[in-house]
């Protein structure tokens, strides 16, 4: 295996590590005290790896293609986008534990690289290469999807609370919460598998098409398809990112937004999964992070549980600055790659 290929695998691992460090999937279970943070990150690590290896091979994402008029992103552009995304995700995760949208990071980085390419002598790019109509659609999706998530979670949890009121006595309500806890655990594990399979493409999709991974790889007595190597590297990266850094993000959404019960956490998670499934089916680039935060606020509103607005304000500010920061980082990293490679 050539040095450049090994270097690309290292970059893929770092990007996957950054994505895993900002994985908030298990936060509802921690907030509802179904899992401890330690148990959540261990389960999340295992599920991310299994999802990446078993489902990631079927995910083919062309990062930012619609946003740049279907122009072909060069290898240098793709790695500039991914590395700049990784930098911001790691900074936000490790310092403040803020849940940052991977979609926002990618969009910001793509815009930055596309606009800056002419400055580095790359023809065919610049303002005219960005499909501003697509960008508007993406921004509208970021605004509308949390509103829908809020409404849907509120409706679901309102229905759940009505069922809870029909329960006979304390034991009946406790039994409902136990059922909700089991449902939440199973549901989040399923969601984690899906997320692992999809998110790994953001880190290693450019590597799978390399010639080194088109033929079987011999590992001792084992012979495995070559494309599994990037998937394994990406799965390990996401898993280690979650277990080493990601606990801060999980803790933020689990305990610093609103107090959760198994029933309220399950209601919020169902809302997020449903909206993201529909959005994916329709080809809309929504942010699961945005929808989850809105859903958590909704269940707090329905249960009349205080929502910690200071933390919400910090999260909202991080969302606003993510696109411009990612754009600037994209320009800097892309320029560095062109200069030194």
Do the Cβ atoms of 224 and 37 come closer than 8 Å?
no
Do the Cβ atoms of 10 and 233 come closer than 8 Å?
no
Do the Cβ atoms of 14 and 204 come closer than 8 Å?
no
Does the pTM surpass 0.75? The reply is yes
Per-residue pLDDT of the chain (341 residues; tens, 9 = 90+): 577 778 878 888 988 898 888 888 889 999 999 999 999 999 989 988 888 887 665 543 434 556 777 777 787 888 888 889 889 989 988 888 888 888 788 889 989 999 999 998 888 898 988 888 888 888 888 888 889 999 999 999 999 888 888 877 778 888 888 999 998 988 888 878 877 776 776 677 667 666 777 778 777 777 777 778 888 888 899 899 999 888 888 988 887 888 899 999 999 999 888 887 777 667 666 777 888 899 999 999 998 888 888 888 888 898 899 999 999 999 999 999 998 87
Distance CA 195, CA 52 (A): 8
Distance CA 113, CA 110 (A): 5
Do the Cβ atoms of 176 and 164 come closer than 8 Å?
yes
> pLDDT at position 158, please?
94
> pLDDT at position 76, please?
84
**If you compute the radius of gyration of the chain from its CA atoms, what whole number of angstroms results?**
21
3-state secondary structure the chain: CCHHHHHHHHHHHHHHHHHHHCCCCCHHHHHCCCCCHHHHHHHHHHHHHHHHHHHHHHCCCCCCCHHHCCCCCCHHHHHHHHHHHHHHHHHHHHHCCCCCCHHHHHHHHHHHHHHHHHHHCCCCCCHHHCCHHHHHHHHHHHHHHHHHHHHHHHHHHHHHHHHHHCCCHHHHHHHHHHHHHHHHHHHHHHHHHHHHHHHHHHHHHHHHCCHHHCCCEEECCEEECCCHHHHHHHHHHHHHHHHHHHHHHHHHHHHCCCCCCHHHHHHHHHHHHHHHHHHHHCCCCCCHHHHHHHHHHHHHHHCCCCCCHHHHHHHHHHHHHHHHHHHHHHHHHHHHHHHHC
Q: Domain limits of the chain?
A: 3-340
Do the Cβ atoms of 331 and 113 come closer than 8 Å?
yes
Name 245's Cβ contacts closer than 8 Å, sequence gap at least 6.
Answer: 17, 20, 21, 90, 93, 94
């Amino acid at each position: 295996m050539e040095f450049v290929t090994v270097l690309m695998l290292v970059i893929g691992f770092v990007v996957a590590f950054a994505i895993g460090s900002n994985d908030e999937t298990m936060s509802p279970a921690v907030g509802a005290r179904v899992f401890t943070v330690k148990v959540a990150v261990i389960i999340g690590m295992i599920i991310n790896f299994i999802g990446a290896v078993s489902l990631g091979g079927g995910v083919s994402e062309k990062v930012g293609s619609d946003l740049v008029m279907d122009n072909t992103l060069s290898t240098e552009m793709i790695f500039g986008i991914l590395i700049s995304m990784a930098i911001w995700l790691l900074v936000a995760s490790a310092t403040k534990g803020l849940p940052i949208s991977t979609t926002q990071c990618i969009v910001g980085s793509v815009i930055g690289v596309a606009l800056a390419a002419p400055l580095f002598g790359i023809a065919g790019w610049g303002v005219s290469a960005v499909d501003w109509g697509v960008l508007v659609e993406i921004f509208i999706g970021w605004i509308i999807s949390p509103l829908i998530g809020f409404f849907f979670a509120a409706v679901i949890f309102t229905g759940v609370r009505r069922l809870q009121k029909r329960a006979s006595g304390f034991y009946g309500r406790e039994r409902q919460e136990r059922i909700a806890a089991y449902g939440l655990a199973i549901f989040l594990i399923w969601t984690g598998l899906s997320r692992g399979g999809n998110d790994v493409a953001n880190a290693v999709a450019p590597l799978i098409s390399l010639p080194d991974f088109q033929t079987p790889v011999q590992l001792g007595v084992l012979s495995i398809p070559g494309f599994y190597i990037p998937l394994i590297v990406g799965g390990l990266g996401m898993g280690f990112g979650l277990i080493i850094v990601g606990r801060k993000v999980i803790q933020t959404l689990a305990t610093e937004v609103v107090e959760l019960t198994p029933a309220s956490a399950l209601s919020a998670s169902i809302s997020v999964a449903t909206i993201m499934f529909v959005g994916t089916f329709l080809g809309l680039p929504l942010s699961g992070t945005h929808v989850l935060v809105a859903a958590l606020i909704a269940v707090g509103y329905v249960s009349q549980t205080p929502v910690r607005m200071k933390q919400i304000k910090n999260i909202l500010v991080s969302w606003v600055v993510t696109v411009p920061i990612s754009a600037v980082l994209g320009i800097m990293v892309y320029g560095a790659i062109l200069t030194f490679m």
